[in-house]
Structure 1
């Protein structure tokens, strides 16, 4: 049995912490490893576990929190999964794997200390783990040895993110005052430029002002980053006054509280489509979770989600490579520019129910669950360690 110490985040709902915690729940089942955990400093000092709850059940939280600190014991393997990327303590482990993910690309600020050389993370048998080919390409662009960067995808909780019965779905929609004839679009991403929420608002406003019965549900993440959806509304209304029209705003609901995993599942499953017209993502876990619930997704083509979005469950938006002129400020890396007209048309297809047949969609969902369960992808990770 190998000793494995994870140096990462627990207890909060940041995406990296969610990955770590879901992996822990699967790692404890693998008899090849004796697990330990050393908590890494949170990216922002104000992050509070009581206010940014990860949404796991009490039983799951107990498992996650039960891993002991290794103290001065030398580990066989250390897995680091936090941000910024840090080098390990010399001599604390015989082998190290470092999780590195990026949306646009890396910079000196991605590391602690700033400017840490990629070679410092890949000496000897040490390696780097990243979740998509998009992110892998950005790491190689920065200077990482391609042979040392392994792609291991994220997974999703297949016992949580699964379709509702039609009766459950209608009850969930009724609880949010959604009428049977209304088409619901959802996005739970942080309202930053790379997520493309501005594009979603523009396309939604066009459909809404055309008189179509559409609704939009957005998740606010003020607790994590202090960025509110309302700020995006204000910025967008200055450039596109239609965003501020009462007819448009009346169709938008913003959820500001933390949601547990069953509540997030309910949100995905009651929706007619999950829409993510992103410009750059390292993975985009909500897209995978939404498909697990049987929900159609609309995503940018040419980016990270190309790795796991089957055509039966998604519409990949036409995109082109982004240039400096496309960004409101320098981004220092690669991104795509989704086609707004294609986004509007993809959303209209959902309104008009022009989607693949349910039998094909369900078959694709079952294949997705088999390939991207947390159990499956965590075994892939442990096999590398």
Structure 2
């Protein structure tokens, strides 16, 4: 199979992360003749070296530019480009919907006014990573048979629990060995749930002063620090801020993937009371590292969380006016979130069970190898469907 991929690399952005790990796995497949074309970043982002290992970054740089004609062209960037590629038999677009639909800002960036019309005039296949995201495309007019769920994966050689002695050393190095640590890794945009998270953490840490919260943002790509400051000012009283801020650590600089995984390995619980997500890969990475997770019920994480390693936060779907249009959000219940955080602190049996069962669940179902197996299956199916209708 000759495969062209168009996408982003070398930044800490979710599409780039997915693209890079898929490319590294595709390089292991001898029957795939792989090419890559770097696409312009969405904003004035700058590439960052050292996010992956030197060997992996060298392997990514050595992937040749597309030439000739391919069996499949896979697009891994935003805005979505649904137009059939002139240099490939079949076009596949990776995309996510977070707000229950393809929203107007995305349509504007795509240069189309009607997603349904733009999509149905093509034979393009959309690959997305969750059923929640798939339903968003269908609600926008995509043909259900051409929107396929391929879940994301993790590198379980990296994302794994540390032995107890190594974990103790790591926690001592990070200065958290005497604390109970919650972790969130995201842009910290309001849709990631930073407001309910800070409110709930303030309440839980008042009753459990040993609790700490690490927020890993990405200042090079987003206004992560501003999002945190705004949320603190909006959600907490001056007295709550005075008590809570000393218990929070914010990390905004770019870290290597290995360093982010060390945060997962050092933390006690991963918490993500999101309002809108297409998949939420850090939740899966946390599970693979042996951590119980707390996340919003009703969204994409329902696909890959189970009660033996995850606590789901009650939520209700709401339509909210954002940028002059209605978008679907999940509103996490603060009381449910506080209860989940306090249970995570108090229930050591649950944490130990989660450490075993979550790791096994990910290893059996959600590795990058399995992701690429599924992705190649989509390519094969779409190529056969195309051959059925086009003379060769």
The TM-score, its normalising length taken from structure 2, stands at 0.90
Q: 2: CA distance between counterparts of 1:65 and 1:196?
A: 35
Q: 1: CA distance between counterparts of 2:10 and 2:249?
A: 27
CA contact (8 A) 1:312 1:361 kept: no
Q: For residues 164 and 100 of structure 1, do their structure 2 counterparts lie closer, same or farther at Cα, with a shift above 3 Å needed?
A: same
Q: 2: CA distance between counterparts of 1:359 and 1:100?
A: 34
Q: Deviations over 1:212-268 (max 9, x none)?
A: 31101001222112x133443244324521576332111000112211122111101
SS at match of 2:78: coil
Establish whether residue 212 from structure 1 lines up as the match of residue 206 from structure 2. no
Establish whether residue 278 from structure 1 lines up as the match of residue 271 from structure 2. no
* Deviation of 1:11 (Å): 1.3
Partner of 1:269: 265
SS at match of 2:17: helix
Q: 1: CA distance between counterparts of 2:164 and 2:348?
A: 19
Q: For residues 383 and 229 of structure 1, do their structure 2 counterparts lie closer, same or farther at Cα, with a shift above 3 Å needed?
A: same
Partner of 1:144: 142
Provide the aligned C-alpha RMSD in A. Answer: 2.1
Which of 77, 80, 89 is residue 82 of structure 1 equivalent to?
77
Q: 1: CA distance between counterparts of 2:272 and 2:366?
A: 19
SS at match of 1:263: helix
Partner of 1:113: 111
* Deviation of 1:79 (Å): 0.4
Q: 2: CA distance between counterparts of 1:83 and 1:353?
A: 42
Matches within 5 A, 1:190-339: 190-210=187-207, 212-225=209-222, 227-242=223-238, 245-324=241-320, 332-339=326-333
Partner of 2:130: 132
- Paired residues in the alignment total 376
Gaps spanning 5+ residues in structure 1: where? none
* Deviation of 1:89 (Å): 6.2
Q: 1: CA distance between counterparts of 2:349 and 2:187?
A: 27
Q: For residues 126 and 88 of structure 1, do their structure 2 counterparts lie closer, same or farther at Cα, with a shift above 3 Å needed?
A: closer
Partner of 1:342: 336
Q: Deviations over 1:114-134 (max 9, x none)?
A: 336445446675311010000
* Deviation of 1:163 (Å): 0.2
Q: 2: CA distance between counterparts of 1:328 and 1:147?
A: 30
CA contact (8 A) 1:276 1:299 kept: yes
Matches within 5 A, 1:65-104: 65-71=61-67, 73-88=68-83, 90-104=85-99
Q: Deviations over 1:326-372 (max 9, x none)?
A: x6765632221111001101110122125427356413421321210
Q: 2: CA distance between counterparts of 1:331 and 1:193?
A: 17
Q: 1: CA distance between counterparts of 2:230 and 2:258?
A: 32
Q: 1: CA distance between counterparts of 2:114 and 2:76?
A: 16
* Deviation of 1:209 (Å): 2.6
Matches within 5 A, 1:175-194: 175-180=173-178, 182-194=179-191
Q: Deviations over 1:282-317 (max 9, x none)?
A: 000000000000011000000010011122111011
Gaps spanning 5+ residues in structure 2: where? 380-392
Partner of 2:374: 380
* Deviation of 1:3 (Å): 1.0
Q: 2: CA distance between counterparts of 1:352 and 1:60?
A: 40
Which of 347, 356, 367 is residue 362 of structure 1 equivalent to?
356
Q: 1: CA distance between counterparts of 2:224 and 2:369?
A: 34
CA contact (8 A) 2:52 2:258 kept: no
CA contact (8 A) 1:10 1:17 kept: yes
Partner of 2:171: 173
Q: 2: CA distance between counterparts of 1:207 and 1:356?
A: 18
Q: For residues 231 and 308 of structure 1, do their structure 2 counterparts lie closer, same or farther at Cα, with a shift above 3 Å needed?
A: closer
